[in-house]
Amino acid sequence: MIEMDFGWIEWPTMVLKGKGKYKYKDLPIWIGRAEAEAIVPKKQSVKVPQSRAYDLLCRVIAGVGGKVNGVVIDEVRDNPPELGAEYDLILLGSLMFKLRDNTVLARLLIAVGEKHIEVDCRPSDGIAVAIRANAPILVNESVLDESGILTRGIPYPPPSL
């Protein structure tokens, strides 16, 4: 597993930044507007008027004596042809990327005492919870090999048009 950092969101894409020997490899993930709006304020330490479902989930986990140990993004599934084009072009700032149209799967890792629980989730939901819990974002190397993009020399975050 490779630990990654939250990079940035330019809706509808969230980018995870590689660390260590993977520092030039990013993982773009499609996300919804609601998920983007839940992640960005938390990363920027902005107070929002109401808590979100992710905040509630973290309080429930802590309330039962549990801890979020992280989120693991560990599988990529090809979408069947009837769900759309095989590739989509996305624009991040002034950078154009060609992404495979696929589904990325994740698991939220929770510990309650000696019991370890893995909950299937969308990557954006798992990341939103992990950020709130200050837990690591982990990516399987095969996912990074299949869906990651090389970014050597590309500015971070990308410049806007």
Q: Which amino acid is at 62?
A: A
Contact status, residue 1 vs residue 139, Cβ threshold 8 Å: yes
Question: How many separate domains does the chain show?
Answer: 1
* Residue at 136 is within a domain: yes
Task: Give me the pLDDT at residue 46, please.
Answer: 65
Query: How many beta carbons lie within 10 A of that of residue 156, not counting itself?
Result: 12
Q: Which domain holds residue 47?
A: 2-150
Give φ, ψ of 81 to 5 degrees.
-55, -30
Query: CA 73 to CA 127: how far, in whole Å?
Result: 9
- What pLDDT is recorded for position 153? 54
CB 117 within 8 A of CB 111: yes
In a domain, 158, yes or no: no
Cα 13 to Cα 147: distance, rounded to the nearest angstrom: 13
Residue identified by tokens 């020997």 is 21
- Domain assignment present for 51: yes
**Per-residue tokens: 21:** 């020997």
Residue 161 inside a domain? The answer is no
Collapsing DSSP to helix, strand or coil, 49 comes out as: coil
Give me the CATH number covering residue 82: 3.10.690.10
In a domain, 160, yes or no: no
Written as tens digits, the pLDDT of the chain (161 aa) is: 899 998 888 777 888 988 888 888 888 888 888 888 888 776 666 676 667 889 899 999 999 999 999 999 988 766 544 444 444 444 444 444 444 556 778 999 999 999 999 999 988 899 999 999 999 999 999 888 888 887 765 555 555 43
State both tokens at 69: 């140990």
Q: Note whether 74 and 144 are within 8 A (CB).
A: no
CA separation for the pair 47, 101 (Å, rounded) = 34
Cβ(78)–Cβ(138) below 8 Å: no
Rounded to whole angstroms, the Cα distance separating 73 from 89 reads: 22
Whole-structure pTM value: 0.78
Which SS3 state, helix, strand or coil, does residue 119 take? strand
With respect to residue 104, please indicate whether it lies within any of the assigned structural domains: yes
